[in-house]
Amino acid sequence: YSYFLLVSLVLIFKSTGQKTNRKITLHLISIVSLLLQAQKKRTRRRRRRRKILSSLDPSNNMSKETKPRVVCCIGDIHGYFTKLQNLWRNLESAIGASDFASATVIFLGDYCDRGPNSREVIQFLVSLPSRYQDQKHVFLAGNHEFGLAGFLGLVEAPSDGSGFETTWKGFEEREEEEGWYKGEGYEKMHLQARMWGGTTRERFDAYGIEFMGSVYDAAPTFESYGVPHGSYDLMKAVPEEHKKFLSNLVWVHEEDDVCLETKDGIKKCRLIAVHAGLEEGKDIEEQLKFLKAKETKFPKIMGLSGRKNVWNIPKELSENNNDEKGTVVVSGHHGRLHMDGLRFIIDEGGIAPEVNPLAAIILLPSIKIVRDTDIF
């Protein structure tokens, strides 16, 4: 602005036929200098005023500690350690090192079975809290971990005092076909644990894929711990820190004030993470209470193992999602990537994780899908 003023004055002198001698030029420079000093004073006053106003307004004083965390939800891993390592690196690249270091990372369950490295995957997960101390980690139980934990005797008995035999009494006609485990300790196992550790009579599943030992494809998990499929020696082979990890898995997790970019703008949402989903037609709070209590009295835990009945977001929640604050329900389990409104299913590995990518969803608050196969 001052340079423009100086040039303008010189041009005015020239247009009137007057020559700009040294004395006039120095006089013009002194005028411009005074103008510059006045401008600097005004700028300093404005900055001081903004600083004072900012200190009085909490919304303008958001520190790093109060900044909303990035939320990342990782789909079913199923014993593929290399894929998990690649995805973890890609997440850091996609989010940025600083935000990744303080992110909330929710693992959606199904860490074991099918792939060859269940032990390595669980060890990686066990190590995360000490390696990434500023991150928040949430580890959900999938139906596969429920079977493994039940086989290892890590699942609490039903709260009504009944034994686990009540979960398989009345279904014995399916025992031979599904190949329930009948070895040592079976009397104290949940039905899903017996199915997990048994040997199925059928060779192929409904998709034409060959079973790996049991209907849960548990043989690779046994082998990763150095014991044959169906061996009760797995009890001794699994390290205590892995048993503790499996015991502490949660069945549902809620996160408040998750910032999410929607078609209606950015919302602060409630997030519910559960491996399979929430049942339609049943009271939401009752379901959450049941899942938080890790109640084991039923033969099948729908929040961990359901299919069509937990696919959609329950009507009770979807009806409120047009409000200022909606509810996100995020799951894995279903063998595909599905995003419909605020219902997210993140399991792109599906029934063939050896060839399909391992995926995660990032809420930045913009929504981003990251895969182990991505190149950054």
Structure tokens that stand for 335 in this block: 């063998």
C-alpha dihedral sign at 176, 178, 182, 185? negative
Low-confidence ranges of the chain (pLDDT < 70): 1-36, 48-66, 321-324
Q: Specify the pLDDT at position 16.
A: 57
User: In three state form, how does the secondary structure of 99-113 look?
Assistant: HHHCCEEEECCCCCC
State residue 11's pLDDT score: 58
List, for residues 270-305, the tens digit of each pLDDT value.
999 999 999 999 999 999 999 999 999 999 999 999
The domain ranges of the chain are 2-57, 71-371
Q: How far is CA 279 from CA 40, 195, 285, 288, in A?
A: 65, 23, 11, 11
pTM: 0.82
Summarize pLDDT for 159-188 with one digit per residue, the tens. Answer: 999 999 999 998 999 999 999 999 999 999
Quick one: pLDDT at residue 323? 65
- For the question of residue 137 being annotated catalytic, the response is no
- Who's near 64: CB < 8 A, 6+ residues apart? 102
Pick the catalytic residue from 144, 190, 242, 253.
144
Q: Helix, strand, or coil here: 235?
A: helix
Please state which of the four CATH numbers 3.20.20.80, 3.60.21.10, 3.90.78.10, 3.30.300.20 is assigned to the domain occupying 71-371: 3.60.21.10
Task: Work out the angle between the directed axes of helices 22-56 and 2-15 (0-180°, nearest 10).
Answer: 150
What is the side-by-side order of every strand in the sheet holding 343-346? Answer: 253-262, 265-273, 327-331, 343-346, 337-340
* pLDDT (0 to 100) of residue 354: 86
CB 276 within 8 A of CB 333: yes
